[in-house]
Each structure stands twice: as C-alpha cells, then as structure tokens.
Amino acid sequence: MIWLAVLFVAVFSLLAVALWPHKNPIHFLTDTRSQKTVIAKQVLDVKALTEQPLLTQIKNNCKNLKDTLGKYVYVTLAVYITVNVTASLWLHDVFPRVPLYTLLCLLFCTTAFVLLTTIKQYRQKSFEDAFPDALRTLTGAVSSGESLHQSIAFVGNSLNNLVGREFRSMGQKLALGHTMEDVLMSSCQRFPYPVFVFFVLTLRANASRGGQLKTIFKNLEEVMLNNQTLQKKMKALTSEVRMSAKIIGALPPGFFLFMKYVSPENFDFVVYNPAGQIILMYVIGSEVLGILVIWWLMRQVRG
C-alpha cells in the first residue's frame, strides 16, 4: 500500500504542475482598469491564439518534440526506454518487495515529465535567442521595399535554425494561398511565447489597419533585448537560491539509497515496517510539498 501511496503522490504532483494555470502570454497588454485586452476588440480574438483543445495541444507538443530532436528522435526514444527499464530493474533489486510494474510506472512518469519540461525550456530558449536575428532580418527586408509575404519568405531562406524553419514554413503556406491570419494563428499555437504573440498581434493589426512595420519591429527588437538582459540579471540574482534548492531536494533521496548499504536494518525498518512507513510517507510528503512551494515561488519571480 505504501508504494501505491507513493505513486499517487508522484502522479498527483506532476499533474498539479502540468495543469497549474499559467499566466496569459500577453498579460502585459491588459488594461488594469477594465481588465480587458487593449486591442482584442479591435484586431482579433486573443484567446484563439493561446487557448487550444487538448488534442491540438498533444499534436503540437508531439510535433515540437520531433522538430526539436530532429533525426535523433527515434534514437532518443530507444535510449529513453532502455535507460528506464534498466533503472527499474536495478531499483527492483534494491526494493525486491516492490512490484516491478509500480517502479516502471513511477519512473516513466517522473522521467517523462523531466524530459518534456527540459525540452520545452530548451525550445523556448532557442527561440528567444534566434528570434532577434529573424526580426532584424525582417526589418531590413521590409525597409528595402519588399512586401510582408516576401519578407517572411526571405527570413526563412536566410536563417537555418528553429525560427528560420518556422518562417520558411510560413512563407510556403502563404505562397500556396493560405491566409495571413491562418498562418499566424498556426505559428502562434506552436510558439505561445509572449514576444511571438506580440509579434503576431503586430502583423495582424498591420494586415487589418495598416501601420509602420519598420518602426514597430525596431521597437519590438529593443524591448526583446531589454527583456533578455533583465532575465539574465534575474537568473544571476536567484542562482544561489536555485542551486541550494536543488541540493537540499537531492539530499533525502541520496541519503535514503546510502542507508540501504550502510544500515540495511534501518532501511528495512523504514521501508517494510508499518511504523517506519509512516516516517517514510512524512519525508516524501514534506519533500514534495517543499519542491512545489519552491517551484511556485520561482514561478512568481519569473512572472
């Protein structure tokens, strides 16, 4: 029963983190007096850019995962399964009374969450690092007299990275006759990042009402650079806290495995004795609660 409780706590924690309500990516465009988006009524339905059905989210996440891993996606999947099965067999030797399927389920849920979160963060960082170059190239193309469609295609042909591939796809869709609105909405659902959402808002506003794209793109580029500088400064100021949290969070699991070989009798008492299981559940519960609290605090800093 204790391992079923551990599995329930782990799965519940992962779901709580995954389903935690995130801030609107364009919350900086909100009028605090009326609590309505400033340009939503004039230009577009903002929710359509960021809110997606569950099946669409799964489809976009799978496509993003395959796009990020590239040709190594199947190799990575094979290595991931092999490592998890091997680790589960080793843990089954350490905890012989725990069913193997429980260890497999727990390990696969945990590692899948960590892997997907890491890939998602890597993808966002790669996008934010490459997008200023794309915006600079787009500004130059627009300034030279090219149309918006031609400028988007030019950016896609000029850059060979994550952003360049997306602009290349946008240019191809526009050349095939897709509307600008559909192309921008599709791209925004794959890259629901604040700066790209604002970029999409700018293009759609220009398509419907006109505007000085050159000036707007330059201002957006300046805002992006300032935001990146601020993010780096924030990470530097919170690096000590984040490292301390990681070390403190890794101590209980490390000590628990260390006790298996140094003091087997105490290990068996904690794992298999009903009185020791209460202590173990308290340690696991406090560990999970502490991690969730730290994650929530760090999320408030990022917001």
pLDDT for 30 equals 42
Residue type (1 letter), 78 = A
Would you call 107 helix, strand, or coil by DSSP?
Answer: helix
Q: Which residues pair with 37 in a beta bridge?
A: 30
Q: Most distant CA pair in the chain: distance in Å?
A: 78
Per mean pLDDT, which range of 152-156, 261-265, 298-302 is the poorest?
A: 298-302
Task: Let me know: does 138 contact 147? Beta carbons within 8 Å.
Answer: no
Q: What is the mean pLDDT of residues 20-47?
A: 44
Would you call 31 helix, strand, or coil by DSSP?
Answer: strand
Task: Let me know: does 295 contact 17? Beta carbons within 8 Å.
Answer: yes
Domains in the chain, number = 1
pLDDT for 26 equals 46
Maximum mean pLDDT: which of 86-90, 218-222, 271-275, 297-301? 86-90
The H or E element that residue 56 is part of is helix 54-69
Maximum mean pLDDT: which of 78-82, 97-101, 119-123? 78-82
Give the residue numbers spanning the domain of 195.
Answer: 2-302
Task: Let me know: does 102 contact 116? Beta carbons within 8 Å.
Answer: no
